[in-house]
Structure 1
């Protein structure tokens, strides 16, 4: 599995909540075995898709999960769609299944209009266009507080764990990226 995070992008941000949560899960050894983490992707419409897709092609991961910060949200959200060029592309992952027994998580149909959505749209488009044996997900993570950090950590660790069988099945029978 490839897991990505962005660098902070606003002057008032000392860090990025998504990157902080992934770093926390790494320290707690709660990421699935074999996960490759690509941290601090530049918040750039041009560079973010290039960095993520280059890493995806390099490691040939069957699942890529991109994580970004959503300052205005109070729940962790799995994004259903990436939108651009008057098109809407949908992840093929079973979002309802991934969310079972989570506490502060839901599904969003709007990944926004900034780099997060652009990256997701470009990634879903490349997977479809090139017929890569890869599935993609974008997860928006709200600001972390001492009260919400353990809840979001639980939810994201559970979601990533549920993706592990998909990774195993893809590795067994499919071609390369």
Structure 2
């Protein structure tokens, strides 16, 4: 599996919640074995897809999970669609199955209008265009608090475990 996070992108952010949560899961050894973590990719419409696609071509993982921060959300969101000028592309992953036994996770049909959505759309498009044997998911992570972090960590660890056990 390939797992990615973004760098902070606003002046008031000392860190990115998605990156912080992945680091927490790494410290707790809750990232599936064999996962490559590509941390702090630039929040750039041009550079983010290039960085992720290059790693995808290099590793050819069965699953890529891109994680981004969503400051105004309170739940972890599994994004169903990446949207672009030509319409929407849908992940082929079984989102409903990934939600089983989670506490603060939901499915979202809107990955936003910023770099997260752009990256997801480009990633889903490349997978379809080149017939790569890879499935993709974008996960939006809300700001972390001492109360929410354990719940979010539980949910994301469970989802990553399920994704890590998918057969190519």
Report the TM range for the smaller structure's normalisation: over 0.9
Match of 2:91 in 1: 91
Number of residues paired by the alignment? Answer: 168
Match of 2:158 in 1: 158
CA distance in 2, matches of 1:162, 1:86: 31
Match of 1:73 in 2: 73
CA distance in 1, matches of 2:2, 2:99: 19
User: CA offsets, 1:79-117, max 9 Å, x none?
Assistant: 000000231000000000001000000000000000000
Alignment of 1:96-175 (within 5 A): 96-166=96-166, 169-170=167-168
CA distance in 1, matches of 2:86, 2:120: 15
Unaligned runs of 5+ in 1: 171-177
CA distance in 1, matches of 2:165, 2:9: 34
Taking structure 2 as the reference length, the TM-score comes to: 0.99
CA distance in 2, matches of 1:51, 1:81: 21
SS of 2:40's partner is strand
SS of 2:132's partner is coil
What RMSD in Å do the two structures reach over aligned CA positions?
Answer: 0.5
CA distance in 1, matches of 2:56, 2:154: 26
CA distance in 2, matches of 1:18, 1:164: 18
Alignment of 1:1-20 (within 5 A): 1-20=1-20
Give the 4+ runs in structure 1 shifted more than 3 A: none
User: CA offsets, 1:124-160, max 9 Å, x none?
Assistant: 0000000000000000000000000000000000000
Unaligned runs of 5+ in 2: none
CA distance in 2, matches of 1:141, 1:164: 19
Taking structure 1 as the reference length, the TM-score comes to: 0.94
CA distance in 1, matches of 2:9, 2:128: 29
